[in-house]
Amino acid sequence: MFDFGFLASLHDSIVQWAINGWTDASGWQVLAFTLIVTHITIASTTIFLHRSQAHRALELHAIPSHFFRFWLWLTTSTVTKQWVAVHRKHHAKCETAEDPHSPVTHGIKTVLLQGRELYRDEAMKAETLKKFGHGTPDDWLERHLYTPRNNWGPILMLLINLGLFGVIGITVWAVQMAWIPITAAGIINGLGHWWGYRNFEAPDASTNISPWGIIIGGEELHNNHHTYPTSAKLSVKPYEFDIAWGYIRALEMMGLAKVRKTPPRLTLGDVKPVADAQTLEAIVANRYELMAGYAREVRRACASEVTRLKASGQGTAAAQLKRVRRWVHRDEAQMPTGMAKEVQQTLASLPQLDKLIAMREELRALWTRTNVSAEQLVHDLQEWCHRAESSGIAALQEFSRKLRAAHA
């Protein structure tokens, strides 16, 4: 005779599993698990895919390297060669029509909502993979599992989550699957080129979304990254924090990673009577930091001019300068349409400020001109310093002395 008690017991077991899974975890425990596994995915993306593979900023030992590859296969289905190729092309063609995911060319809404699709479309182009995907793993695992069966990972992750937490595991899995498309493909590639603050005048629209890089593993410091793309460390200011850099340092102390490059640090020593070739070398190596300092001087000069104009009853001129001052120190390519002309018109009646901007462009020529000999560039630097210190403008005089104190 058939045992209906067995069916009832089986039914109860299935219902119990569907509600609680094998772990019988509380809601808070499920949430903690979700936060931990998504953070591991972010760390794997920024440390392995981004800093190690795409930019060669660090070398990873086989142990963390294989872990990161397995975890990314399990939680994202990402193919290393495809991700690296698309990202390298983004840097090579940044903010142009060939940039795979620039909000400048595609629009912020498109990148935020369809970032994953933009990645996928570019990753299907054989030319992109051939030109930008070199140097990525090509072992047995890559050829037989991670690339041809990349979707098996998320399927396995779904089964694991269902087993651990029951039906709620589907929600955990959905969050895992959406995490990288939302944070990396959407927020970093979108907002990171559209909104935020800039430490440096990198030759693109990159911005730092937040000074504290925790939720997206330090990738929030996107302007810093575009300024120093081959650096393993993304934080540069004392108030900035890159959590993935902490993980990299921990791996390095355990002998599991080797950092190749970090942001250069400007060294100031005794002020030389005359700038020389070593001075020029130090200036070119630290040009972004130096120009960020120059931009601060320009902003101070703008504030002083606004105060002076108001005090002298030139309210209209003060209002006009206030309108354009956030763009005065920016490169013309980064200004909104028509703003460059407005800035020029404003500066025409402010000779000291106009000279500050003109001499900034002359200083930039030291590293933008490629058809000039090193000897000529040293001579140009000496001339620049001489004119700056005889200009009667305190900001230029002080900056020139700083340049002559720069050491490689």
3-state secondary structure of 213: strand
Residues paired with 241 in a beta bridge:
212
How much is the pTM? Answer: 0.90
Secondary structure of residue 125 in the 3-state scheme: coil
The angle subtended at Cα 239 by Cα 215 and Cα 37, nearest 5°, is: 15
Give the C-alpha separation, 281 to 285, whole Å: 6
Q: Which residue has the tokens 């070593």?
A: 278
**Closest Cα to residue 190, out of 118, 109, 120?**
109
The residue type found at 262 is T
- Tell me if 71 sits within 8 A of 212, measured CB to CB: no
CA–CA distance, 360 with 349 (Å, rounded to integer): 18
Residue 6: its pLDDT value, please?
Answer: 59
Q: What pLDDT does residue 203 have?
A: 87
Q: How far apart are CA 364 and CA 287, in angstroms?
A: 8
The answer to whether 69 and 146 are in contact (CB under 8 A) is: yes
Q: Distance (Å, rounded) from C-alpha 281 to C-alpha 276?
A: 9
Alpha helices (H) along 21-151: 27-44, 62-75, 80-92, 103-106, 108-123, 126-132, 140-141
Inter-residue contact 78 to 50 (CB < 8 Å): no
For residue 8, the model assigns a pLDDT of: 60
Q: What is the 3-state secondary structure (H, E, C) of 320-363?
A: HHHHHHHHHCCCHHHCCCCHHHHHHHHHCCCHHHHHHHHHHHHH
* Per-state percent for the chain, helix, strand, coil, to nearest 5: 65, 5, 30
Read off the tokens for 135.
């140097």
Long-range contacts formed by 229-232: CB under 8 A, 24+ apart: 229/55, 229/91, 230/55, 230/56, 230/57, 230/260, 230/261, 231/57, 231/261, 231/262, 231/263, 232/51, 232/57, 232/58, 232/259, 232/260, 232/261, 232/262
Count CB atoms within 10 A of the CB of residue 158.
Answer: 17
Q: Which two tokens stand for residue 393?
A: 């403008």
Q: What is the pLDDT of residue 79?
A: 98
pLDDT of residue 325: 86
One digit per residue, the tens of pLDDT, for the chain of length 408 reads 556 665 566 555 666 666 777 888 999 999 999 999 999 999 999 999 999 999 999 999 999 999 999 999 999 999 999 999 999 999 999 999 999 999 999 999 999 999 999 999 999 999 999 999 999 999 999 999 999 999 999 999 999 999 999 999 999 999 999 999 999 888 999 999 999 999 998 889 999 999 999 999 999 999 999 999 999 999 999 999 999 999 999 999 999 999 999 999 989 999 999 999 999 999 999 999 999 999 999 999 999 989 998 989 888 888 898 888 888 888 777 788 888 888 888 888 899 999 999 999 999 999 888 888 999 999 999 999 999 999 999 999 999 999 999 986
Structure-token pair, residue 343: 């800035």
> Of how many residues is the chain composed?
408
